[in-house]
Amino acid sequence: MVSNKEINNNAAELDGMLKRMHEMVIQRKCILQLSNIIFVNVKEGQDLHSVVNYRSPSELYKAVDLALPELGTGVDGTFDLIKKTLDYSVNSWNPRFMDKLYAGTNPIGVISEFLLGVLNGNCHVYHVSPVLTLMEVEVTKAVGQLLGMGEHANGLFCPGGSASNLLAMVTARNYLYPSIKTSGYIPRPFNPTADYGKLKVFTSAHCHYSIDKAALVLGLGTDSIVKVPTNEKCQMRVDELERLIQESVERGETPFFINATAGTTVMGAFDPIRSISTIAKKYNCWLHVDGSWGGSAIFSQTVREELGWLDGSGQADSFTMNPHKLLGVPLQCSMVVSPHEMIFPKANTLAADYLFHGNPYDLGAGTIGCGRRPDALKIFLAWKFYGSDGLGQRIDRALQASADFTDLVRERKQFELVADPSLFCQVCFWYVPKEIEEQVQTWKKDPQAWKTKMTHVIHLLHERVNHSGDFLVDHAPLDNLPHFFRIVINAPTVNVHRDLGALLDAIEDASKNITWNEISL
Ligand SMILES: *Cc1c(COP(=O)(O)O)cnc(C)c1O
């Protein structure tokens, strides 16, 4: 049981727990070692062999005591639970965790989370988080400037990319059609005096679903989303964008928001931002760039100066970036930046005098929430630690590893790339088991059979690979294609031959253990 005496001695209690956490996390489970850039590895024999000790929910209920007690269990009971949590969680320090767009963090990432925990600050008003507020102001300005948004660049942190996209859309709507803030959304022809018809959003067919969700939350409805077709490189087709906008205008609707994706979630495509911005200006639309995944690539000099994937970002009205994905900053860390001065409070503020007393540094006024976690601190510290140069090198390394892994996949028999070369830091492919090679050739003649049957094959293989605990990878859909493996190359510790070659071996081994001829496909 926890006594009041213990409760009042916070400093001593924290000290004791930190020592235990140190033993448990640093010495037992994860060795945190800093070498030239980033180095984090898993102890237990630098154990690459267990990303997760996978358990089904019912098994996990048996393994971990998840009952909530009436009487507190104190340090010992809580630390038993912490140990179990480490034992049965995904170890994202392992570079073979390649399932999602984020990877494990790094030592300065853990320190930044720790500092946030100690401070327990809140970034709604300046006077409760003065330093954290200025960090948010400075880091959003610096990111905006890196994107070419100029001296007035500013922004806000949101709890994730989806929330950043939502804030961008609500800001655009409130700014362009401010009457909606008070009177609600009543477009022409229902409201003949309205200065807008049915509001429409344009985004590529490969965009993230958070764009649809934002329209849903705003009360525009998902039918207000127009999905623009993509070209062979999975980028939004600008000619189709303009054609669809014209058609919408002819129907009496009001196109107001264009979303360009910088790094699509499945394939990693970058929409052509500069040409899209020309269309946005022509039709008086707000241009948002969803760079949740690929936006951070701006830190790479190669991307900025040679590849030009983010060219035109300075023309955007808002831009989402998630340092918690490509930059290894701990979850969550997402921001939306804009070149327009004070745009977020201008569009979103309400008179809540009990909280906001008119200080322009009270950043919460620009959000759609109230209290906010000071996530800016985490990218701020990472940037101080590594420099923009170091963050850029992380991107370059991931791009090189993705290209090398693509070569590896291309050379292996039975593997078939979805995009060759890979578009960004995801490598996508199918595996065609030799035993059913001929069948697969016949499926390919019928798009529906090819899609459903090959999807089944991939799901079977995927399940075996993931349940082994040696790797965590994902499968993904795209257009009318069968699902395929999507391998995300992000962890700076990933080694092409040791880890990625081994993954291809693991897929081959999984296939060998399936008697394909006995499965009805
Ligand atoms: C991951 C992702 C999002 C959503 O970000 P969350 O932080 O998970 O909410 C939005 N857009 C794209 C393109 C993404 O890849």
Note the pLDDT of residue 19.
84
Question: Structure tokens of 367?
Answer: 């959000």
Q: What is the pLDDT of residue 479?
A: 94
- Strand pairing partners for 475? 485
How many percent of the chain have pLDDT more than 90? 80
Question: Is the pLDDT confidence value at 31 over 50?
Answer: no
Q: Which atom of ligand 1 is nearest to the CA of 261?
A: 13
From the CB of 394, is ligand 1 less than 6 Å away? no
Q: What values do phi and psi take at 87, rounded to 5? A: -60, -40
Lowest pLDDT segment from 66-75, 144-153, 239-248, 403-412 = 66-75
pTM metric for this prediction: 0.94
Residue 208, ligand 1, Cβ within 6 A: yes
Is residue 428 helix, strand or coil?
Answer: strand
Whether 170 is in the pocket of ligand 1, judged by its Cβ within 6 Å, is no
Would you say the CB of residue 204 lies under 6 angstroms from ligand 1? no
Mutate to test the pocket of ligand 1, among 101, 206, 207, 208 (most ligand atoms within 8 A of CB): 208
pLDDT tens, residue by residue, 306-340: 999 999 999 999 999 999 999 999 999 999 999 99
pLDDT, tens digit (0-9, with 9 covering 90-100), for 240-250? 999 999 999 99
Query: Mean pLDDT over residues 86-97, rounded?
Result: 88
Residues 351, 356, 357, 359: what is their CA dihedral angle, to the nearest 10 degrees? -110
Cis peptide before 332, with omega less than 30 degrees from 0? yes
Distance 334 CA to ligand 1 centre (A): 9
Residues 6+ apart with CB under 8 A from 60: 88
Strand 415-417 to 318-321 pairing: unpaired
Regarding the beta carbon of 161 and ligand 1, being less than 6 Å apart is answered yes
Q: What is the DSSP letter of 46?
A: T
Quick check: CB of 265 below 6 Å from ligand 1?
yes
Instruction: Supply the DSSP string of 313-368, one letter for each residue.
Output: GGG-SEEEE-HHHHT-PPSP-EEEEESSTTHHHHHH----TTT--S-TT-GGGGSS
Q: Which distant-in-sequence residues (6+ apart) come within 8 Å of 405 by Cβ?
A: 422, 427, 487, 489, 496, 500
Q: Is the CB of 160 under 6 A from ligand 1?
A: yes
Question: In this structure, are residues 462 and 455 in contact, taking their beta carbons and an 8 Å threshold?
Answer: no
Out of 101, 209, 292, 378, give the residue to mutate to test ligand 1, the one with the largest number of ligand atoms within 8 Å of its CB.
Answer: 292
Domains of the chain by start residue, with CATH: 10-117 (3.90.1150.170), 131-373 (3.40.640.10), 389-518 (3.90.1150.170)
- Closest Cα to atom 3, ligand 1: which residue? 161
d(CA 183, CA 387): 47
Residue 312 tokens, joined: 């035109």
CA–centroid distance, 276 to ligand 1, in Å, is 21
Given the CA of residue 263, which atom of ligand 1 is nearest to it? 13
Q: What is the mean pLDDT of residues 460-471?
A: 93
| Atom number in ligand 1 closest to CA 264 | 13
DSSP, collapsed to helix, strand or coil, labels residue 473 as: coil
